[in-house]
């Protein structure tokens, strides 16, 4: 017998809180390496803590967006099975979004997890993805990934009823974005450059109080799917396209997901159905505060979202290391 709607609703609510415990565990483990200049150690600690935390979550999960292939373990690799048993779920993870940020104690390092029912996430290889994203409450199709950035900025300003000079565009600080940055500034729009962490950058375009109106530019495809999961919950808009260096990457994309690998991707092409999303800050940024540690305790700051209800919650967790029964999850 299938679950009743009320039981399923309660299950989704419980899963959302379980996801927070998963991202908290990874963030707490990574935070021990903040500012130590050792990004691989920080990433390894986050991966192991996240993997252990998933052992307590009542799902039968398959990682479809992860850090690499099976032979690259101890990463949470594509195809890895996690969870304590339960409904079949697709999992998108980045145990530490911003390994270099953590090593440098720079802003916007996060631990990130998203869940959807099986088959509802784009199965994307680890290639680059071109992205454009804006927040909720705007006309459908207000921006177009195939349009010039100047045209998109003018359309966005008109939709927001503001002067174009009031807008701020966020993008990764990369040489490949030199033309995008130049055209944005020529249009009179401010540019916020981030060194890493485009999941946080995309989400910032969809959240009040961040000072970001639009995200544009290319970054990792796995990060794009994670950001799309968050935008499904906030009501934002996003378009994307996979970018390939060679035919081997194109063939890999065909094997992982049907359809034209070079097609324009809508938000629901990347994340559809009911989606849950959680992220915990490792270092402070526009979206989340970083972990505050003392020898005996830590404070975490997380965001958890549900597409079904459109609810976005910020959760502050206080963790007492002296409690004998304490664990990161």
pLDDT of residue 295: 85
Residue scoring higher pLDDT (75 or 10): 75
- Predicted confidence (pLDDT) per residue in 46-79, tens digit: 999 999 999 999 999 999 998 765 445 457 888 8
Q: How confident is the model over 185-195, as pLDDT tens digits?
A: 999 999 999 99
pLDDT above 90 as % of the chain: 79
Pairwise CA distance, residues 14 & 41, whole Å: 31
Looking at residue 9, its pLDDT comes to 43
For 144, residues 6+ apart whose C-beta sits below 8 A from its C-beta are 132, 151, 152, 239
CATH 3.40.190.90 intervals, the chain: 128-270
The mean pLDDT of 233-247, rounded to a whole number, is 96
Does the predicted TM-score (pTM) go above 0.85? yes
At 271, list the tokens. Answer: 């994340």
pLDDT reading at 115 higher than 90: yes
The candidate with the shortest Cα–Cα distance to 132, out of 234, 233, 262, 264, is 264
With a cut of 50, say whether residue 256 has pLDDT above it.
yes
- In tens, the pLDDT along 193-232 reads 999 888 999 999 999 889 999 999 999 999 999 999 999 9
Q: Return the pLDDT at 322.
A: 67
Residues 54, 24 contacting (CB under 8 angstroms) = no
* Mean per-residue pLDDT of the chain: 90
Report pLDDT digits (tens) over 26-51: 999 999 999 999 999 999 999 999 99
Q: Does 5-119+275-320 carry CATH code 3.30.540.10?
A: yes
pLDDT digits over 133-148, tens only?
Answer: 999 999 999 999 999 9
Q: What is the pLDDT of residue 321?
A: 78
Q: What value does the mean pLDDT take over residues 117-143?
A: 94
Res. 324 pLDDT band, cuts 50 70 90: very low
% of the chain at pLDDT higher than 70: 91
Whether the per-residue pLDDT at 255 is higher than 70: the answer is yes
The token duo for 262 is 């070079």
Contact 96, 30 (CB under 8 A): yes
Pick 128-270's CATH classification: 2.40.50.100, 3.40.190.90, 1.10.10.60, 2.120.10.30.
3.40.190.90
Contact 73, 102 (CB under 8 A): no
Q: What size, in residues, is the chain?
A: 329
Is-contact 111 200, C-beta < 8 A? no
Residues 86-107 pLDDT 10s:
999 999 999 999 999 999 999 9
CATH 3.30.540.10 in the chain: give the residue spans.
5-119+275-320
Task: Give how far Cα 69 sits from Cα of 93, 167, 174, 306, Å.
Answer: 13, 40, 26, 28
How far apart are the C-alpha atoms of 122 and 271, rounded to whole Å? 6
């Amino acid at each position: 017998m299938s679950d009743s709607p009320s039981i399923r609703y309660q299950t989704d609510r419980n899963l959302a809180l379980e996801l927070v415990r998963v991202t908290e565990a990874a963030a707490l483990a990574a935070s021990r390496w903040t500012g130590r200049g050792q990004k691989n150690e920080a990433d390894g600690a986050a991966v192991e803590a996240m993997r252990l935390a998933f052992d307590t979550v009542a799902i039968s999960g398959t990682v479809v967006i992860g850090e690499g292939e099976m032979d690259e373990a101890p990463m949470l690799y594509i195809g890895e099975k996690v969870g304590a048993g339960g409904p079949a779920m697709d999992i998108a993870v980045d145990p530490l979004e911003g390994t270099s940020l953590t090593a440098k104690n720079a802003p916007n390092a996060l631990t990130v997890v998203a869940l959807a029912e099986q088959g509802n996430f784009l199965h994307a290889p680890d290639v680059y993805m071109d992205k454009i994203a804006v927040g909720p409450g705007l006309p459908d199709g207000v921006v177009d990934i195939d349009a010039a950035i100047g045209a998109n900025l003018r359309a966005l300003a008109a939709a927001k009823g503001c002067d174009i000079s009031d807008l701020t565009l966020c993008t990764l600080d990369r040489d490949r974005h030199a033309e995008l940055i130049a055209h944005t500034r020529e249009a009179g729009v401010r540019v916020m450059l981030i060194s890493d962490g485009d999941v946080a950058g995309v989400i910032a375009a969809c959240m009040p109080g961040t000072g970001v109106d639009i995200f544009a530019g290319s970054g990792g495809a796995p990060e794009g799917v994670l950001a799309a999961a968050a935008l499904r919950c906030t009501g934002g808009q996003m378009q994307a396209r996979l970018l390939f260096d060679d035919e081997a990457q194109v063939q890999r994309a065909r094997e992982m997901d049907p359809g034209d690998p070079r097609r324009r991707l809508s938000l629901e092409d990347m994340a559809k159905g009911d989606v849950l999303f959680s992220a915990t800050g490792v270092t402070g940024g526009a979206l989340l505060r970083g972990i505050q540690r003392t020898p005996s305790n830590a404070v975490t700051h997380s965001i958890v979202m549900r597409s079904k209800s459109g609810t976005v919650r910020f959760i502050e967790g206080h963790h007492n290391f002296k409690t004998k029964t304490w664990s990161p999850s």
